[in-house]
């Protein structure tokens, strides 16, 4: 009997011990663990007032400016006026010429440029003596003109394609002349983006150093094959660019001066698809709604209740950050390495 009583007492004592152990690691312990706030290591940035731009980007070619109501085209490819043989070439590539200068001269059939010059002089003398008609003089001058390649504008000879003694026909390009002070960049812009463009807008040509141009022409038609719209931006006389140069460009379609902006990595999207930033106050970060607009060079234009220049926001660590949480600032590369390699204390 005594032996049975001792056995019962031992079993009851063991049960009470197990109950106490379960109690000590049960819901109350879990609740205590859950209520202990976690600390997230982050980096922060500052809201700043800056000037931001909206761009339409594209690629284009530097070309002579086309003709306008005020000026002729800034470039010309000069073909031989008649079939014949080149008698003289009077210029070289890179040479400056004036409108009316003779670039090359031809012999055609039985008529040579020398004999045509002599005939013009003879007709002038006869006309001065009233021994020939004006029609005869003008005919001799027209004959000489047909044997000469003349610069139609002042500029630079960019190409000479013939040498003395070479045969040419009316399709042969003898030389090219360009006014290098009147150049433009022609670029094909996707039609969907071209709707935002307006003539007079600034164009940034992304050369080294960058060059600023002005949007002068937007085609009213869309190229059916490429779905693009032809645009043309005029360059300043001292742009330093060359005809035939391929360039990248940005057309400025909006400028927001002195707007409030946040570092781009600080602006994230919440579960509802809305833009938020984590505003830092003391050792806490709290999500705040923000409306966004222009983006440029790592900055995003924002607006929202209570946001102002100088406010601190979470940058590195902003994505997935709880709505409100304790934070620890990561101020250096050493801190980052420590935070990455550290493990929770047990």
**255: left (phi > 0), else alpha (psi -120 to 50), else beta?**
beta
118: three-class secondary structure by DSSP: helix
> CATH for 79-178, among 1.20.1250.20, 3.40.50.300, 2.40.50.100, 2.60.120.10?
2.40.50.100
Its pTM stands at 0.69
CATH code that applies to domain 54-65+181-256: 2.40.30.170
Question: In CATH, which of 2.40.420.20, 3.40.718.10, 3.40.640.10, 3.40.30.10 is domain 39-50+257-341?
Answer: 2.40.420.20
For residue 27, what pLDDT band results from cuts at 50, 70 and 90? low
Using the structure block, give the residue that is written with the tokens 């200068």. Answer: 101
User: Across all residues in the chain, what is the average pLDDT?
Assistant: 87
pLDDT digits (tens, 9 = 90+) for 215-233: 999 999 999 999 999 999 9
The distance of Cα 172 from the centroid of its chain, to the nearest Å, equals 38
Instruction: Dig out the tokens for 25 from the structure.
Output: 């690691």
Q: Determine contact, residues 215/201, Cβ cutoff 8 Å.
A: yes
Query: In the predicted model, what is the mean pLDDT of residues 97-119?
Result: 95
Residue 110 in tokens? 């039985």
Task: Look at phi and psi of residue 74 and say left if phi exceeds 0, alpha if psi is from -120 to 50, else beta.
Answer: alpha
| Spatial CB neighbours of 162, under 8 Å, sequence gap ≥ 6 | 86, 89, 104, 168, 172, 174, 175
Alpha-helix residue ranges (DSSP H) falling in the chain: 2-24, 27-35, 113-128, 134-145, 191-194, 333-341
The residue among 25 and 230 whose pLDDT is bigger is 230
Answer whether residue 284 shows pLDDT above 80. yes
Q: Is the pLDDT assigned to residue 280 strictly greater than 50?
A: yes
- Give the residue-averaged pLDDT of 17-24: 49
The length of the chain, given as a count of residues: 346
Q: Among 2-6, 142-146, 265-269, whose mean pLDDT is lowest?
A: 2-6
- Number of H-type helices and E-type strands within the chain: 6, 23
Q: How confident is the model at residue 177 (pLDDT cuts 50, 70, 90)?
A: very high
pLDDT bucket at 272, cuts 50 / 70 / 90 = confident
Kindly report the three-state secondary structure assignment for every residue of 288-341.
EECEEEEEECCEEEEECCCCCCCCEEECCCCCCCCCEEEEEECCCHHHHHHHHH
Q: Which tokens belong to 330?
A: 């990561």
pLDDT at 92 over 90: yes
CA atoms within 13 A on the CB side of 51: 4
pLDDT tens by residue, 30-56: 444 455 457 888 899 999 999 999 999
Write down the domain spans for the chain.
39-50+257-341, 54-65+181-256, 79-178
Name the DSSP letter for residue 266. Answer: G
Question: What percentage of the chain has pLDDT greater than the value 90?
Answer: 73
Q: Chain-centre distance of CA 126, in angstroms? A: 65
């Amino acid at each position: 009997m005594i032996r049975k009583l001792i056995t019962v007492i031992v079993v009851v004592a063991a049960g009470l011990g197990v109950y106490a152990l379960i109690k000590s690691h049960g819901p109350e312990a879990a609740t205590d663990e859950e209520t202990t706030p976690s600390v997230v290591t982050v980096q922060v940035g500052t809201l700043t007032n800056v000037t931001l731009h909206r761009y339409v980007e594209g690629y284009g070619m530097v070309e002579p400016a086309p003709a306008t109501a005020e000026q002729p085209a800034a470039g010309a490819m000069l073909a031989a006026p008649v079939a014949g043989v080149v008698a003289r070439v009077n210029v070289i590539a890179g040479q400056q010429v004036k409108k009316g200068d003779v670039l090359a001269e031809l012999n055609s059939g039985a008529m040579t440029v020398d004999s045509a010059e002599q005939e013009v002089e003879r007709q002038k003398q006869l006309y001065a003596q009233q021994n020939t008609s004006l029609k005869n003089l003008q005919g001799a001058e027209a004959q000489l003109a047909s044997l000469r390649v003349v610069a139609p504008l002042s500029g630079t000879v960019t190409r000479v394609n013939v040498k003395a003694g070479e045969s040419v026909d009316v399709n042969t390009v003898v030389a090219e002349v360009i006014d290098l002070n009147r150049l433009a960049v022609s670029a094909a812009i996707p039609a969907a983006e071209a709707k935002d463009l307006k003539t007079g807008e600034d164009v940034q040509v992304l050369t080294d150093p960058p060059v600023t141009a002005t949007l002068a022409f937007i085609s009213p038609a869309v190229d059916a094959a490429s779905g693009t719209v032809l645009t043309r931006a005029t360059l300043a006389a001292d742009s330093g660019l060359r005809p035939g140069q391929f360039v990248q460009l940005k057309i400025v379609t909006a400028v927001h001066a002195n707007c409030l902006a946040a570092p781009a990595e600080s602006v994230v999207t919440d579960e509802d698809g809305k833009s938020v930033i984590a505003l830092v106050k003391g050792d806490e970060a709290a999500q705040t709604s923000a409306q966004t607009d222009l983006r440029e060079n790592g900055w995003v234009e924002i607006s929202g209740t209570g946001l102002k220049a100088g406010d601190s926001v979470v940058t590195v660590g902003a994505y997935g950050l709880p709505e409100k949480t304790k934070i620890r600032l990561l101020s250096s590369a050493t801190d980052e390495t420590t935070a990455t390699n550290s493990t929770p204390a047990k």
